[in-house]
Chain A
């Protein structure tokens, strides 16, 4: 169990490539922090610097109050789980779990105790005498986790550990790892490019792009209040709709116009940051679920209503995605309720925007206008 502190951490390679820039993060003891971002954003490099597998170019990393910049990987009291959960094929599960302790000359009694404890936590006691080839994918993944647990580390580091699993098993293991975090009560740092994994597992999420932290927040805050278009677009599936729109101020009322559609914004948008942009272009962000075809809502909110052509209807059971085009040129995605939606392909449908769940971003900086 340990807190972590990253202070102005950089990773620079010869030739000027900067993989991680000014990374600052405080991780509390027992937190489950997810580093998420597209490929090449620096998330794995950050994790590897914490693990000691990459040198830190600038800045400092602390585990508890101990500066670990120059501490050998083995002495950092961490355990890592990677995408390839390489198990030793000729060894039993017990021996696989004990392997790293054996090569580190841990006494036998202690090894047995730790392996038994880890097996109990992971509920794989009945598998201890089996060899990896006799295990299912999920069981192998648990053994890989067991190998990390027996080290009794202060911090668990996981680098895309579920990427090699099929979709069904990935969902199952996501739950397992979350449960494991609750049981172990240890600090977890988890790297993924999958925003669903990030949203469902982490207590806090660090969104990264091009080596920079974009936003650090809880899943709910990231979803509801993204600081820029990158975070807004990266978090959420289907992604947020981004519309180039113009702000119009009439007295105390604020309107936003796009493709012959004018939508009145709620009173909370009648603030200086928005009003001063009268006549200017902004990026209008609307999540798919904030656009509805529900007849009552559309009738009750004529100030946000508009029509669109339905191009594709995807019925997923619990929800339906409508892919529509406004004014023949603006594509939008809507997530609607299949129990009330009557929309069909080729139809012109009346839609309305729930303006309590919209976002405005600056056209140039792409940062959120209202914080």
Chain B
């Protein structure tokens, strides 16, 4: 319907008369007078029964519009003078073209989805892309936007409006919780600083846009690709960023493929290897002996680069309390976090443990 509404919006600035389009039941779906939208015109039934293409009442002229073999819409205009029929014919052609274009847009969207999901043959992509007027030689970046099931449709509508008429971005719905934003990144391809700023600006803009409509979202940002044929890689990377981000940085709303750090490595490891590593670093599940306060202390100690004074200041605890807690960690796990080697081992083991917990939860969810 949006394409018909768009025609009406444009017609508003051209025609003095009130014009509108209704379905065959008389429900007005678009009009130059937006107040009429959603109301019903009782004349529709009579217009549909009539054998003529045109019909008229005391103050309006109607014309049926066929899409394919069937009459799908009725267009109406204020006035009964002969020239209004010409206006109606012109409007009908305009709307038919818009609907046809919409059909092409849907095909183009499906094609792009297939490219993202690697359902198109690599060799055919440039040929089909040309048909849909897609420039293959433009650098692109894919962002995956994940919302809740309840907010998915609204988020999609917001994003589609955000990038409507935009030369730089397009939005596709992947499923009810996932929207894909494909950005034209030609301006950012120059150097790393530009790329960094581009990702930062665009991902934050999308997040702020959704948040300001009270929608919570998580964003995964893929890698830059220079050819349209390769956007599936950017999509895969964005999905991976979203998954890895949700495992290792739960407080992070935007996960970038180029900034996954250790999480990227650990995510690739087989579960059995991870379990062996955990058993080695934390024999007898020693980590289970650490209470919340101790875990928070360790996090803060790491965040302050193993600086005891800064950590105790940040946690509002006496330095001796910190020393006591670190001694307790050493006693329970055998790792002295004041030593760099042990601290690295603990940090990695904690991340591996987080990953194993994620695998376990995922498996449980699948069984359920």
Residue positions of A touching B, CB distance < 8 A: 13-19, 48, 51-53, 72-74, 76, 78, 80-86, 88-91, 99-100, 103, 108, 144, 147-148, 210, 212
Contacts and interface: CB of A to CB of B under 8 A. Distances in A.
B134 interface: no
Contacts of A15: 250, 295, 299, 350, 354
Contacts of B350: 15
A351 B183 CA distance: 59
B214 A73 contact: yes
A17 B214 CA distance: 25
A14 B215 contact: no
A19 B205 CA distance: 23
Contacts of B295: 15-16
29 contacts: A14-B250, A15-B250, A15-B299, A16-B295, A16-B296, A16-B298, A17-B251, A17-B296, A17-B299, A19-B251, A53-B216, A73-B216, A81-B212, A84-B209, A85-B208, A86-B205, A86-B208, A86-B212, A88-B161, A88-B164, A89-B162, A89-B166, A90-B165, A91-B161, A91-B164, A100-B213, A103-B157, A147-B212, A148-B212
B204 interface: yes
Nearest to B353: A15
B154 A103 contact: yes
Contacts of B285: none
B314 interface: yes
Nearest to A210: B314
A78 to B, nearest CB: 8
Contacts of A91: 161, 164
A88 B162 contact: yes
B269 to A, nearest CB: 19
Nearest to A51: B214
A14 B361 CA distance: 14
B35 interface: yes
A212 B316 contact: yes
A99 B210 CA distance: 13
Interface in B206-265: 208-209, 211-216, 250-251
Contacts of A13: 250-251
Nearest to A76: B214
Contacts of A108: 34-35
B205 A18 contact: no
Contact of A52 (B35, B213, B214): B214
A90 B164 contact: yes
Contacts of A85: 208
Contact of B205 (A76, A84, A100, A210): A84
B292 interface: yes
Interface hub of A18, A51, A86, A144 (most chain B Cβ within 10 A): A86
Contacts of A86: 162, 205, 208-209, 212
